[in-house]
Structure 1
C-alpha cells in the first residue's frame, strides 16, 4: 500500500446514477428514489468493493423538472441510511442535511441516532442550501450567501456541542446500585447565539467513533473557511488537477489558524464514470445515455458551464469562439474543450454534472484516480457512476482490482467505524 491511503465513496444519486438519462437505461428503476431497496442493493455492492462510504445528496425542495426526470432527493437520507445500516456491516453512511432549512437539535439527534444504530459509521454532509424551490417550502425568502454561512457556522457549532454534551464515560450502567449515568458528565450546552438558542443536552450518548464525521461541500471563501474550521472531509467539484491542488493547499493553509492539523482532512472530488471494455464502447454508452436524457436540460446544463445561451448550441457544430468567455483560472473543463474546437456532442461525451468525468476503460479510470491521488490533487473520490445498476458493479469489479494491484487501495477494512476507514482519530 502507498504511505497515504486512497479513499473512495460512491454517490447514490436517486438510486439511479449521475447521468440525467440513467432513469431510462435498461436495469434502472425510475421509482428507486421513493424506496430503500435499490439503495440497500447498491450499498452491499459498494461494501463488497471495500469502499469507504455511500453518500446521499439532498435538498429540501423539488429541484428537478419531474416532467423529464425523477427526483434524486425523495426520502430523507438518514432514513435510507438507517435501512442500509441494518443490511451492511462496515461501509460508512454519509447523509446530507441543510443548515439553512433545519434546526441544530433535530440534525444532531438524527445523525447521532444513525451513528449509534450503525455502530459508528455515520457522517453528516453539512450544506448551506441555495435554491428557490427549497426556499418556497420555508417562507419563500432566499437568504443571501452571507446569511447562509453565518447561520451555517453557528449551526455546526451547536451540533458539535450537542454531540459532545455526553462524556464518553458518562454512562455508568450500575444496575446493582441503581445508578445509570453520572450527571456531572451529561452537560446542557447552554448556547445563546445570534441565531440559535439551545440549552439542553442531547438525548443520546456517544457512539463507537465518538460522534459522526463531518463533511462539507460548499465552495468559495466562506465554504473553505467553514471546512478548515470543522470538516473531516470535503466533497468538491474540481475538474482540473492543478486547480484542485491549489484549492487543497489553500484549505490546508487555513487549518492551523483553527488549531487543526492540515493532514486531518480528506479531500474527495466528485468523479463521474462511464465504463466499458473499450474506449469506443464507453463513448457509445455515453452517447446512448445522452440520447436518453432530455435534450433541452442537457444543453441548459452545458450552457451554464460555458456561460453561453443554450439556444445557440448545436449538437454537431463547435461552439462559436465569439460566444465563449475570456480565459480565466478555474474555468470549467468544458470551456477548454470548446476552445479546442470540439463539437457540442463531443464536449457532452467528456463532461457531466460539473464534476471530473472519465469515459473509458477500467484502466483509464484507474489511471485518472492514480494520477490525481499521487500528485496530491485528491485523497480519493466520491465516485458517481453514470448508471448505478451496472456502472457501480463495473467500478467495483473492474476498477477497484486494478487499484489494488497497483498498491493504491485496501484489501480489507482497517476497522469498523468510518473514522477508522478515513484514518481519523476519535474526537476528544
Structure 2
C-alpha cells in the first residue's frame, strides 16, 4: 500500500501536571514543583514533537477538582499555555479543553482562531459540557444544568462558533495598499444568529485562520455524547477497558455518522491508555506497585465518590461498593459512572482495589509492560477495529512520556504503524482531515 494512503495510527499525548497517576507527584521520578513552570511544559511538548506525535492535549475544569491536600492540582489555563507552547514547537498539534456550559461562543471562537494563527494552523478544541455542581457554583449557579440541556446548549454553541469562523472568507483580506482596501467587506459578514441559548451578531474580529476551524475533539461517551460526536467531532477521546468494549464503541459511533452525511474517515477514535513502561515486565510491575503504594486512600475515595455520584466517605475500604443510583439519575459524567460501576462489579473489586485500579487512568485502560508489550497491545486494538489511534496518558512525567517516545514509538514506526516524519504542518494534516468549506461563502452567479 502506498505510504500516502496506508492507514497509520494517531497518537495524542494527554499531559497532566506530574502525570496521570494520582500519586505521581510523590514519586521521585516526577517534578511537581514545576507545574506552573512554562519551561517544564515546553520540554514536554518538544519531547512529544520529537516522537512525531499528532498532538498534545490539556484537559481543564472550572473548579479546583479533587483535594489539593493530596495531589498536585491546579495550574495553567490551557489556551494561555498552548499559545506559549506554539512558539516553543513547530509541528505538533495543540488541543485545549473549553466548556460550552460556562463560556460564550464569540470569545471562544476568537481565542481558538487566534491560537490557530499563532501556531500556523495547529489548534484543536476539546469540547466539553462540564460535569459538576462545583463548577456551576463558580458561575453564580446553585445547580448544574441538566445533562440533556447541557448538550442542547453545546450543539448551538458549536453551530455559532463555526458560523463565526466562517464569517470571514478565505480570500477576504486583499491588502491593496494602492487603493486603500484592506478587506473585501462583501466577504466579511454578520452571522445574525438568534437561537434558544445565544444571540450573536458577528462577524468575528479575527480573519479566517489557517485551518478554517480548529480540529474539533469530543470526549463524552454517553448516548448524548456519542450523538454529539457523530455530528460534530473529528477526533474522539474515549475510555474503554477491553478490546471488545473498544470495538463495540468504535462500531457504534462510526455507524451514527451516516445520518449526518459523514463517512467513517472523518472521525478518529482514540481510546485512552496509561502505559506503565519498564525495561522488563517485572520492572514495569514494580513501578506500577510503587505508584499504587503511594496513593492516599482518602483522595481516591473522594475521587471515586465524584465519579459515582455517591458519598463513599466512611465506608470500609476492604468492603464492596454500596448500592448505586441508575445511570439515568446521574447528572455528571454518565459514561464514566457506568464504566467504573461495571468495572467494580465485573471484577468483584473492593473500594481499596477499585481506587488502586483507577489511580493511573480514572477509568482509562492502564497497562504495565515492556515497550514491546505496549506496542503489541496498541497494534491489537488498532488492527482489530477498536481504535484509530490512542490518547496516551503517561502515568508520571517527564519520564513516562520520554519512555513512550524513545522506546514505544520506534517499535510502532518499524512496524509501519506510525509516521517516521511529519508530512504536513497543520493539525488537520496530521489527522488526515481537510479544512472545512466555508458555509457562508457567497455562491457564484449561475452556481
TM-score normalised to structure 1 length? 0.91
Deviation at 1:195, TM superposition (A): 0.7
Deviates more, 1:262-271 or 1:294-303: 294-303
Query: Is contact 1:305-1:334 (8 Å) kept?
Result: no
Match of 1:417 among 400, 404, 426: 426
Q: 1:239 Cα shift?
A: 1.5
Question: 1:86 maps to what in 2?
Answer: 87
> What SS does the aligned partner of 1:219 have?
coil
How far 1:411 moved relative to its partner?
0.6
For 2:236, the equivalent position in structure 1 comes to 234
Superposition map of 1:221-260 within 5 A? 221-260=223-262
Deviations 1:175-229 (A, max 9, x none): 1221111111111111000010100111112222222111011121111111111
Task: Name the CA distance, whole Å, in 2 between partners of 1:258 and 1:306.
Answer: 33
Which 10-residue stretch deviates more, 178-187 or 206-215? 206-215
Which residue is equivalent to 1:216? 218
Determine if contact 2:66/2:303 at 8 Å carries over to the other structure: no
Secondary structure of the residue aligned to 1:272 is: strand
With 85-94 and 33-42 compared, the bigger mean Cα shift is at 33-42
CA deviation string 1:229-283 (max 9, x = no partner): 1111111111222222222222222222112222210001111111111111111
Q: Which of the numbers 408, 422, 447 marks the counterpart of 1:399?
A: 408
What is the Cα deviation at residue 347 of structure 1? 6.1
Q: Secondary structure at the match of 1:357?
A: strand
Match of 2:443 in 1: none
Question: Bigger shift: 97-106 or 132-141?
Answer: 132-141
**Change beyond 3 A, Cα 1:231–1:293:** same
Specify the alignment match of 1:177 in structure 2. Answer: 179
Q: 1:245 aligns to what SS in structure 2?
A: helix
Give the 3-state SS of the residue equivalent to 2:32 in structure 1. Answer: coil
Greater displacement, 173-182 / 44-53: 173-182
Further displaced range: 30-39 or 333-342: 333-342
Indicate the residue corresponding to 1:312 in structure 2.
316
Number of the residue aligned with 2:96: 95
Root-mean-square deviation (CA), in Å? 2.6
- CA positional deviation for 1:92: 0.1
1:75 aligned residue: 76
| TM superposition shift of 1:28 | 2.4
The reply to whether residue 4 of structure 1 matches residue 7 of structure 2 is: yes
1:300 Cα deviation from its structure 2 partner:
5.1
Q: Does the C-alpha gap of structure 1 residues 306 and 132 become closer, same or farther in structure 2, counting only changes over 3 Å?
A: closer
Hey, what does 1:166 align to over in structure 2? Answer: 168
1:308-328 CA-partner distances (Å, limit 9, x unpaired): 9583333xxxx66x9799xx9
**Equivalences for 1:32-111 in 2 at 5 Å?**
32-72=34-74, 74-111=75-112
What's the CA shift for 1:334?
3.7
User: Is 1:157 the equivalent of 2:159?
Assistant: yes
Q: Given that residues 305 and 354 in structure 1 are in contact (C-alpha distance below 8 angstroms), is that contact kept between their aligned partners in structure 2?
A: no
Change (3 A) 1:307 1:239: farther
SS of residue matched to 1:136: helix
Tell me whether 1:354 sits opposite 2:356 in the alignment: no
CA gap of 1:354–1:99, structure 2 versus 1, over 3 A, is same
Q: Secondary structure at the match of 2:155?
A: helix
Shift of 1:350: 9.1
Q: What is the aligned partner in structure 1 of residue 291 from structure 2?
A: 289
SS across alignment from 1:180: strand
Distance 1:407 1:192 in 2: 49
1:111 aligns to what SS in structure 2?
A: helix
Say which is worse superposed, 19-28 or 209-218, in terms of deviation.
Answer: 19-28
SS in 1 for 2:393: strand
User: Distance between the aligned counterparts of 1:233 and 1:405, measured in 2?
Assistant: 25
The answer to whether the 8 Å contact 1:305/1:335 transfers is no
Q: Which secondary structure state, in structure 2, belongs to the residue aligned with residue 208 of structure 1?
A: coil
Who is 1:191 aligned against? 193
Task: Supply the distance in 2 between the matched residues of 1:131 and 1:350 (Cα, whole angstroms).
Answer: 20
Q: Secondary structure at the match of 1:97?
A: strand
Change (3 A) 1:196 1:411: same
Q: Which runs of 5+ in 2 are unaligned?
A: 328-334, 438-447
Residue 64 of structure 1: CA displacement? 2.1
1:203 to 198, 202, 205: 205
Alpha-carbon distance between aligned partners in 1 of 2:103 and 2:21, rounded to the nearest angstrom: 29
CA–CA distance in structure 1, aligned partners of residues 35 and 133 of structure 2: 21
